[in-house]
Structure 1
Amino acid sequence: MEILTLGEKIRRKRKSLRLTLKDVAGDNVTPAQLSYVESDKCKPSKSLLRYICEKIELDIEYALESESDQARKYCDYFMREYEFYIRRGETEEARAKLEEVEKLSKEYGLDRHMGIVCYKKGKDSLDLNELSTAEYYTYTAMQLFMKLNETNYIAKCYHNLGIIASNRSYYDDAIILFNNALDITQSAHDKDTLFVCDILFNKARVYYYQKNSSACNKTIGYIIDEMMSLEQNKRNAHMICEAALMVSNMEQAEKYIEEAENIYQISGQKEKIEYLNSVRLLLYAKSKRFNDLNQCISKIHIEFINENNIKMAINILEAAKELIESGDYHYANTILNLMEKVEVKQLQGLYKYLKSKLLCTNDKESSINYFISSLEQLDNRDNRNICIEIADYLGSIYKEKKSYSEALHYFKMCAKLYNKDNGLISNIS
């Protein structure tokens, strides 16, 4: 695909007809003048352009299409291809198309398309739990969309920044950002019910983390009511699964999982059943239903963990974390063995952190190397509390061993993480 100037379009069409400059020239234009037009050294008048287009049978609307308009068309085409590859799970091909859009957007000053590129990159990074990268791209996208007054995308950016804040345990910031997204979305002429449910769902997640079960259950009840008002093929099964993990009533949670399974079966997404099993695994780990837990473990078969099944991997790690914290180390170790082939860098750090927690219960010495390795692989901004815990633990261990320089190194790291201000609201405002 090429983007052509007016002169290039005229020259190519003339040459395809095997006409010379003299053949096209006439009373209205000399060969020399036509050569200047073709080399873009002068712009023809409307009457002259009409004459040239008639002479070489060139569509005048195509001739007048600017380079930036051509770039927009190509960007729209590449974005359709990007969405196609995303649906097929072909992430490398999708990224290549996004790079094409980014290149054209930069070259021709297409702010809206650049905003979409940044938003997509931010969303992809968020899906991979790469929160610092996600924040950078989402914040950049928001600046561009605010300049263009693209309220739909502004709401989406607020929503994603809210998720980032929530994942970093900045719950007050997250609520503010989610409310901003809700205000914009609910005031829109054609309200997107699914997006409203998505925002409210993430708000419910914050209430869950804050242990505000009343607000959490109330919000989830509202979301499910809204979801059930939609046709079944439009319901978000993933959201219903996640809601099952937050409600305090186990019977209600199992009903939600059954509803999600029905949606996956009807929509032909049988590959999602594996993800559903990871939701059940986490649910049984939280409720200490060990017989059900064993059966669920036997149903999960993962050849490798990568960015395509990262949500399932996160559920498995969360289940192991729940069991470690309750002292059920045997089950935690069995679950972590499902995660031996971790490929995503951020999850490698979390996996090694949990392995370290298991090791330090009976073998402190062996756990040290695991803790150090996990600390190197974890982003200390995205996993600040975990990194503080590891640094403090390592400092204490080296202090016991009288390795004071190493102890001081980790205690200083711990203090630095405590004092680091990582809020989002100040950046946005």
Structure 2
Amino acid sequence: MESGKANPSIELLQYIAEKLDTDIEYFLESEEKQASRICEFYCNICESAIISEDFLKATEAIEKGAFYADKYNLNYYKAKFEYFYAKIEYKKDNLQAAQLHCLYANSLFLKTDSIDDIIKTFLLLGQISFSMGAINTALNYFIQADSMLNKDEYVNEKLKANIMYNIAMCYDKLGDIKQAISFANIAKDKLLILEDKKKYGEILMLLSLSYAKENNLNKALKYAEMAKEVFKSFESDNEIVEIEMSLGNIFSKIGNFEESFEHLNKALKLKNKKDSHFYDILFSYSENYIKIKDYDKALEFVNRIFDEFGENSFYRIKCYKLFYKIYDEKDDYNNAEKVLLEAIKYLEALDFKKELADFYTTLGRFYMKVNERELALNYLDKGLEIYKELGIIL
């Protein structure tokens, strides 16, 4: 029967199905239908493996499933497996590879007219572009996702909330705070209906940060406190740390440093390991001490970050900026010059052109301040040349 030399009767198939503990429909399916079921099986394995971040298991499932998808030309499952590849690469921070897989998945999904999957690929493309710093491109993908969601009155409130949240994030990055607040409020209303507490808390947090950028500090505090209560309800420490940090920074802007330090202390107590938040909190401490002119304390915190986390370029550059700010405010011109020259020497060995141009310009202004006009013009010219090269100025 398996080799096609005999055609069994329905009665015989029923007998075999009972003995093999399966349905008779299994034997009546076409090879393509069976291949689809196999692909669906591997899709489920892959999805679970990605959630648990077992990328090896997920990749093995993709390879096995893709074999059947290619053999029987199942475009929908080809797209699914490309989408899973994109998610894996995105989670591993291989953004260019993730983008290529996601673009291919999107083109295949568009042929199958699977709206839910098309929206998800536009969302992922937006998130990848956002991570790459291409904010306008990301915004375009999120708008396309929303446009597809509105097509034929397709309803998925959770996806809608997710899209609105991402659009709000883009406008926040682009500095269009009014639009950020507008879209964040739409997402907030959707999530309140859905009772997705974690996402609801994230939206409240985004609203808080957006109002803080507008210097509407009363609303910023209101939404930060609301977010804190949401995250406390399911003991989400990481989110509470972010909120305590945000509250600390908002109170610092108001000039209430006692309250600011109180929230930063709470954030630091919740951080029992030295991840990025740990050092962000220390930076907030040092910036507070600069504002209250306790420069020795500020230096203590910046030195601590520099010594413990100086290998990370982002934190090292931030330390140089704060060192300069402290020495400049203290009128310690020798150390101020020394820090700027050291930062420039470090950046000249790396491919951080924008940051290098910023430090050239700062050093130029410093030399102007101490009446070293020739040196000032030299470094200002260097900064301008890089800004022109990057297209920042014409």
Q: Could you say which TM-score interval applies, normalised by the shorter chain?
A: 0.5 to 0.7
Q: CA offsets, 1:278-303, max 9 Å, x none?
A: 33344445555433332233222352
Is 1:192 paired with 2:156?
A: yes
**Which of residues 66, 72, 77 in structure 1 aligns to 2:45?**
77
Q: TM-score, normalised by structure 2?
A: 0.67
Distance 1:282 1:134 in 2: 35
Contact 2:340–2:359 (8 Å) recurs in 1 = no
Amino acid at match of 2:47: M
Distance 2:86 2:282 in 1: 28
Q: Helix, strand or coil for the counterpart of 1:303?
A: coil
Q: Helix, strand or coil for the counterpart of 1:352?
A: helix
The alpha-carbon deviation at position 200 of structure 1 amounts to 2.2
* Residue matched to 2:343: 367
Question: Unpaired segments of 5 or more residues in structure 2?
Answer: 71-76, 326-335, 365-373
Amino acid at match of 2:259: D
**Which of residues 251, 268, 273 in structure 1 aligns to 2:218?**
251
Question: CA 1:171/1:336 → structure 2, altered by over 3 Å: closer, same or farther?
Answer: farther
Distance 2:101 2:305 in 1: 33
* Residue matched to 1:292: 259
Is 1:47 paired with 2:8?
A: yes
Question: CA 1:168/1:61 → structure 2, altered by over 3 Å: closer, same or farther?
Answer: closer
Mapping 1:123-202, distance limit 5 Å: 123-124=90-91, 131-166=95-130, 170-187=134-151, 189=153, 191-202=155-166
Q: TM-score, normalised by structure 1?
A: 0.62
Structure number with the higher helix fraction is 2
Question: CA 1:340/1:111 → structure 2, altered by over 3 Å: closer, same or farther?
Answer: farther
Q: Give percent identity, aligned residues only.
A: 17
* Residue matched to 1:228: 192
Question: CA 1:167/1:146 → structure 2, altered by over 3 Å: closer, same or farther?
Answer: same
Question: CA 1:71/1:161 → structure 2, altered by over 3 Å: closer, same or farther?
Answer: closer
* Residue matched to 2:355: 389
Question: CA 1:319/1:177 → structure 2, altered by over 3 Å: closer, same or farther?
Answer: farther
Q: CA offsets, 1:262-285, max 9 Å, x none?
A: 222323434542233233344445
Distance 2:225 2:299 in 1: 26
Distance 1:326 1:168 in 2: 33
User: What is the number of equivalent residue pairs in this alignment?
Assistant: 347
Amino acid at match of 1:239: I
The alpha-carbon deviation at position 240 of structure 1 amounts to 1.7
Q: Helix, strand or coil for the counterpart of 1:82?
A: helix
Contact 2:299–2:323 (8 Å) recurs in 1 = no
Distance 1:321 1:183 in 2: 45
Question: CA 1:233/1:184 → structure 2, altered by over 3 Å: closer, same or farther?
Answer: same
Deviates more, 1:354-363 or 1:285-294: 285-294
The alpha-carbon deviation at position 115 of structure 1 amounts to 3.1
Contact 2:283–2:302 (8 Å) recurs in 1 = no
Distance 1:280 1:318 in 2: 14
Distance 2:290 2:7 in 1: 77
The alpha-carbon deviation at position 143 of structure 1 amounts to 2.5
* Residue matched to 1:304: 274
The alpha-carbon deviation at position 415 of structure 1 amounts to 6.3
Mapping 1:310-349, distance limit 5 Å: 312=277, 334=301, 337=304, 348-349=312-313
Q: CA offsets, 1:8-61, max 9 Å, x none?
A: xxxxxxxxxxxxxxxxxxxxxxxxxx8xx5xxxx43443289859957944565
Question: Unpaired segments of 5 or more residues in structure 1?
Answer: 1-33, 86-90, 377-385, 420-429
Question: CA 1:101/1:335 → structure 2, altered by over 3 Å: closer, same or farther?
Answer: farther
Is 1:205 paired with 2:141?
A: no
The alpha-carbon deviation at position 180 of structure 1 amounts to 1.4
CA RMSD, 1 decimal: 4.7
